[in-house]
Structure 1
């Protein structure tokens, strides 16, 4: 046997050890944990880290296992040095930025030095650009895990670098970035700083589906790969990276209700009594909340629509990442219109705790989703085949809404008045347009076609599954180059 044959066999026999690092926010933890599950299924060893600490109240809802292996994101900070985020979204974004200071690079490097076998690569979140320096120091590739859609990736690269000509990028309103992030804020600079490092990665792994955004993905491949000052080798869609239950991504018949908190059982019993595709599910994610005036307009709009609904309700400006303190619990429903709960009895329900969103969306009685257009929520709706009332609130959500409404025609949009408020009549109009059997049928049938593309992508021979195997092959080839 020749020496080349021995090297190849040794590389095949080695256990590939992958390090995943993300930030401790649901929109980033979910795709990172699903990425870990996919890699474990392909025979790799995976070590996971996050830049904050683990809140038990959050960790419980995102706990994942592959076989007997529990996926845990080890914190790079100690609890006694950690300052929790504020309750408002803007405070939370600022908190994420401060989690990623220069000290994190050395902490990650120290963790990597203690790993056995040594890591073959780093897969890092889009907000952890400094991990590129750690990968360079260890002479291993870094793969960027981009947790937003391809249209947001292209927009961030175009807005932050000169690598892609704005002339070839899809046209968006000139003030769309301002609607996402205050240009004068420190988080604006932080996002641009990370975006400028995207193309230093060996690959960008996008949480999307090739057939959903093929045009944008091909455009970026043409504009970026092989160009000066671009180290990027491949741009691979690997989505949808959404939560799974019992080893399979959730579908209507695959999950029993008791897999979530028993406190949710009453909600599912209520859903079981509703007609097929009759209920509107309303949720703005874990970070976005609405102020009291908007909560009143939303409540009145839901009431006026006459549609059965299930609303994940949080008090104004209280995000779901941290548990509510006792004072908030005691006044939980004070922000709602007087008499609202009595008037909707039997037709509407509120969830004031953590909601098992994917299970709810997969229920036969749910026919639509009023959403903030967070990308995880959008993918979950797509997987379940549930059309969307688009109500973007912050960051990438405006871009996602434009994609859903303008590009692929999968959503009905709510419109704000001059004061930035969505009035109750507009809420009721959008709901009726989506949920009506006649006016909503076109969106619903098109959504089912997009759902089929998402299911196909992660099936055997699908584009996302094939791309994950391409990633493994890239790592094996890297091992062969090591001394």
Structure 2
């Protein structure tokens, strides 16, 4: 029997590359040959380059191929005729659509040996390439089933409304598979009727054109959303393609055993350290960093905190940030006063290894889905501090549906106070309610592990996907 071959296209950004690499490893485990077709961002990013280098070095059985850049767009006849949008989200979609030509050339050179194309959700326009080559195409949705349920429903809901989601403010919305949520919890980029928002809604409309949708979740984590998707409630006017819950696809860690923070954690008691990290691009202004520092100091608890330099107004997404000057950013004397029970890292930490360390006892997170799954897979209670993209929506599911975390109040007013930081750290580390939350996450950790084993729901879903393929 001929070995199957798939090509994965992860789109842009570390947050989309990381789970796609885990998916590639899953294909390899099931005897499928994999090539990851990488799209280089228009703005060179050291974070992405480093992530690609790490992925390639640690996965020799996966082929990584960098697609050539797209042909330049024709020059506009006048400024008014320019087809290049100033909206950053619209520009991203224009760039990814332009990558169709290099992707088509790459796939054509390998046909007929390629059996399927698996696309990141942002690469929905590449469904046209698959159709042209008569190649089965699947969407890999790197976030949760709850987000997918909401997103598939959004284009039809918006078409029936007289106003934008943004203008609804804190009005409650009801979507199949989701608890009641505020309109302001929807991602800003798909709620404000901007050019980028319209491009996002078009993407949500196109996703069901795929032969199926692979979701980085497991059934028992999001039962309501999975049920709504499978019963077709999220797309009442058209057929929902098969939905395969194949997660949690998270890194196993272990690549940075000698990192200073892991040596530091070795000297701390079990479950005693609060870990604060906010994703690959999450940053705070100096005032917010000071509030976090004061709150951590007053809490009296041990902490491990990843600090990035504040992003200036003219900073372009993808450009490297300057290394943070901790003495300038944090309150005078803070590092010295807390050095016996705290460690502040500049810019990056081996997050998976930290979360799985016996000394770590809670996770202050931006609620990106990769980080959320990594926290759950490590059994860590979550203190939710969403920053951008779909993270407010994830917060709703984590707090209201899963009950694995609590909200850090004030994020939506752009300042979480020192008092709030102190109170929530004490709550999760000291209270009976915090203990119960930890027990619930520990049960989910076990369930996620079981789902991936032979006979588990995610293993069975992936085997079914390969049969359908």
Deviation at 1:321, TM superposition (A): 8.3
CA distance in 1: counterparts of 2:296 and 2:379, whole angstroms: 22
Deviation at 1:389, TM superposition (A): 0.5
Task: Indicate the larger mover: 38-47 or 451-460.
Answer: 38-47
Unaligned runs of 5+ in 2: 74-85, 161-173
Residues 110, 425 of structure 1: CA spacing in aligned structure 2 closer, same or farther, 3 A cutoff? same
CA distance in 1: counterparts of 2:5 and 2:192, whole angstroms: 39
Whether 1:69 aligns to 2:57 is: no
Residues 57, 69 of structure 1: CA spacing in aligned structure 2 closer, same or farther, 3 A cutoff? same
Match of 2:32 among 25, 28, 44: 44
CA contact (8 A) 2:177 2:226 kept: no
Q: Aligned residue for 2:250?
A: 242
Task: Indicate the larger mover: 268-277 or 348-357.
Answer: 348-357
Whether 1:56 aligns to 2:49 is: yes
CA distance in 1: counterparts of 2:25 and 2:432, whole angstroms: 41
CA distance in 2: counterparts of 1:211 and 1:169, whole angstroms: 13
Residues 73, 290 of structure 1: CA spacing in aligned structure 2 closer, same or farther, 3 A cutoff? farther
Q: Aligned residue for 1:199?
A: 208
CA distance in 2: counterparts of 1:301 and 1:396, whole angstroms: 27
Deviation at 1:260, TM superposition (A): 1.7
CA contact (8 A) 2:119 2:138 kept: yes
Match runs of 1:323-402 below 5 Å: 324=320, 328-329=322-323, 331=325, 333-402=327-396
CA distance in 2: counterparts of 1:64 and 1:320, whole angstroms: 28
Q: Aligned residue for 1:16?
A: 4
Unaligned runs of 5+ in 1: 1-12, 82-89, 245-249, 476-483
Deviation at 1:341, TM superposition (A): 1.3
Whether 1:150 aligns to 2:152 is: no
CA contact (8 A) 1:203 1:234 kept: yes
CA distance in 1: counterparts of 2:267 and 2:91, whole angstroms: 42
Match runs of 1:128-139 below 5 Å: 128-139=123-134
Deviation at 1:47, TM superposition (A): 1.5
Deviation at 1:355, TM superposition (A): 1.3
CA contact (8 A) 2:230 2:243 kept: yes
Report the TM-score when normalising by structure 2: 0.85
Match runs of 1:175-186 below 5 Å: 175-177=184-186, 179=188, 183-186=192-195
CA distance in 2: counterparts of 1:417 and 1:354, whole angstroms: 22
Q: Deviations over 1:17-58 (max 9, x none)?
A: 111101231211111111111111211121211332585333
CA contact (8 A) 1:181 1:395 kept: no
Q: Aligned residue for 2:107?
A: 112
CA contact (8 A) 1:123 1:145 kept: yes
Match runs of 1:148-297 below 5 Å: 148-161=143-156, 168-170=176-178, 171-177=180-186, 179=188, 183-223=192-232, 229-230=238-239, 232-244=240-252, 250=253, 255=254, 259-260=255-256, 262=258, 264=259, 266-297=260-291
Residues 93, 387 of structure 1: CA spacing in aligned structure 2 closer, same or farther, 3 A cutoff? farther
CA distance in 2: counterparts of 1:36 and 1:417, whole angstroms: 35
CA contact (8 A) 1:52 1:99 kept: no
Whether 1:35 aligns to 2:31 is: no
CA contact (8 A) 2:324 2:347 kept: no
Task: Indicate the larger mover: 114-123 or 151-160.
Answer: 114-123
Deviation at 1:378, TM superposition (A): 0.6
The SS at the match of 2:7 is strand
